[in-house]
Structures are given as C-alpha cells and as structure tokens.
Structure 1
C-alpha cells in the first residue's frame, strides 16, 4: 500500500470521530476528511526527538483509527510546533504534523488538520491564535487550561475546543499525549503568540 493510500485510510477513519462533537468546526473537519482526494504527499517523511514515544503509544492499537495511524507513522512529516515562537529545544518535547492545510502534506487553503505529540512532563505554555481550534485526544492524558481557569485533565476520546484568540495551555505529567487537531477561520499562523 502506498503512503497516499495509508494516509487516506487514516484521514477517512478520523472523519466520523469528529461527528461526535456538536460544533461547526467539527463538522468542517469531518466533511474535509471525508471528501479529501489526496495526491502524493507534498512533504517527505520527517521525525523529531519528540516523536520517540509514538511507536510504543500505538503498539497493539485496538481501534481502527489508531491502527491506521500506526500504519502510516513512517509517512508523516513532523515539524517544530509554535511557528518559531517557542523555546529552541521544544522539538524534543513537542511536535506537530500538518496533514491538511496551506503548508501541509496535502494542500488546503482554508483549513488546517494535523497531529500533535506532547512528551511526558512538559508544559506547553498558554498561547493563542486567531484560528478557532478543536483537539481530539487519541492517546495519553494532559491537564488543559483555557482562559484563566485552572488546568483540568483531558483523557483519550475527549474534545477540547478553543475559540479564536482564546488563551490555552497543556501540561503532561507521567505519560505523553497524542491528539488530532483542526483550525478554521483565520488559519494564518502569524497570529500565534505566547
């Protein structure tokens, strides 16, 4: 099976998961994942230090979504998160894949959809961006803070929704966290700030 076929299978498997969240952004993500007809990925596979726990996290995956993700791990183009606005050594603790989007593996002008890996014992500082954002946690647990509220745990299967310019941050404790995310609205990363 080709990289395109493996990645397409993963994207198709993810689409119905977003149907479980009653929001416009979830519907946009689900619809895009269902109708994407990707050509070959525009970006070659790349990996960062933050990705080290992924094989163990996905080993023995039981549900169709994580099985398909495990099958395409070697096809993903991981990059440093934060649009260059986080500490230089962050790539050892935090990384993202833009699967679909303006600078993604598969081009899309109005939406970004991707993955995030956050290593254990890492504090992703409060940040904000103009894009509306929705996370779907695949594996692991993170303590999430939105606005000025205290951090609270989010588990696999949970959604976390951020409005445009709403401050948020995440802390992992004893295990890494893997999540799928989507951006809609003003998806230009220039507004990203900590």
Structure 2
C-alpha cells in the first residue's frame, strides 16, 4: 500500500499488534476517508532527521508532504520556537484524514529541547513512543521518562506536561471517551 492508505495500515498494524494500545481502545471500525488538502508545518521537515526504523515513522516520512499538519496552540500560549518545532496529524477521528466517531489517532512530533507545558483535555489519552525518550509530568502520577515501545496514559482532565530533553519525540497517540472532538487547552 502507498500514500495515506499505507500510513493508515501501518498505524493499524502497530495498534493491533500492541496489547497496551488494543486494550486502551479497539481499532475503529467506522473509518471512512476524508479528502484534505496538505498543510505543511515547519516541524514536518524535521522528520527527515530521524532514523525510520518503525514502519509508522517510515510511512509518515514518505507522505509527510500530503498530510494536514496541525498545531493546536498559538504563539502567545507556547512561543514561536515551540510552534516551529512541533506538529501533529489527526490520522483518524472526528477531523482526521479518516473520519471516526469511535476514537482519535494522532501522529505527533516534538523536536529536542521543547517544553510542552501543562495542559488537559476531556478525552482519555495514551501515548506510544516510537522515537525519543521524553519526560512526562502529571499532577496525579509520578514523572516518567518514556522509552520507545512504552506508553503513557492520562485520564480525562488530568493536567500533564512533557519535556523532550535531548532527543526529538515521535509518537502515536490515541484518544477515547467523552470530549473526543475537543482540543487540548493549556492549563492555568
């Protein structure tokens, strides 16, 4: 498979082969393609510097210029440097390249040395690290440095933050539950 279908297939294979992802949310069965124009962001060009060992990362790199890259926050909230070195793609979900009302699946990238400040959202979340080892912080669980192949979960409205430290971070993230169509918000 090639293009966006190949990217979706790589995500499905990872999702279904990983018990911690499967158990968090089943692979959505209501997917339908939604045509979206490509929207570049500065961070998407930074993917080229990563080793494409994981199939999902390799597929993302192959179609990066076809994806609708997003950046939820404003420069006032996170700073222009953060915006230039961060981006995500909603692969599937209410606003994704593939529509689903069952869950939301993201592919996300943060460059090295970024501080993703305290934020929260209604949906429950699980990160799956594919590259990098960021430090995750939470107001309700111990801090942890995630390694490739590991997950980190956050409950609904759990305030959390992340620091990428010395390596870029590339991940697959899933949202489930209430608030699926809402975006995260920076916490006070």
**What is the TM-score of this pair, normalised by structure 1?**
0.80
Deviates more, 1:10-19 or 1:43-52: 10-19
Quickly say closer, same or farther: Cα 1:21–1:159, change in 2 above 3 A.
farther
Superposed CA offset, 1:41-100 (max 9, x none): 422112212223201114xx2343333232222221111134898335232132111111
Quickly say closer, same or farther: Cα 1:64–1:79, change in 2 above 3 A.
closer
| 8 Å contact kept, 1:25–1:134 | no
Superposed CA offset, 1:11-66 (max 9, x none): 222224334234676332xx22xx46543x422112212223201114xx234333
Quickly say closer, same or farther: Cα 1:6–1:138, change in 2 above 3 A.
same
Q: Does 1:111 align with 2:108?
A: no
RMSD: 2.6
Structure 1: which 5+ residue stretches go unaligned? none
- Count residues with an aligned counterpart: 184
Q: Does 1:7 align with 2:24?
A: no
Matches within 5 A, 1:14-33: 14-19=11-16, 20-22=18-20, 26-28=24-26, 31-32=27-28
How many Å separate the matches in 2 of 1:150 and 1:130? 21
**Deviation of residue 10 (structure 1)?**
2.1
Aligned to 1:181: 173
Quickly say closer, same or farther: Cα 1:67–1:116, change in 2 above 3 A.
closer
Q: Secondary structure at the match of 1:68?
A: helix
Superposed CA offset, 1:95-131 (max 9, x none): 1111112222222234221111111111001211110
| 8 Å contact kept, 2:15–2:22 | no
Matches within 5 A, 1:28-177: 28=26, 31-32=27-28, 35=29, 38-39=32-33, 41-58=34-51, 61-82=52-73, 86-89=77-80, 90-149=82-141, 151-177=143-169
| 8 Å contact kept, 1:50–1:117 | yes
**What is the TM-score of this pair, normalised by structure 2?**
0.83
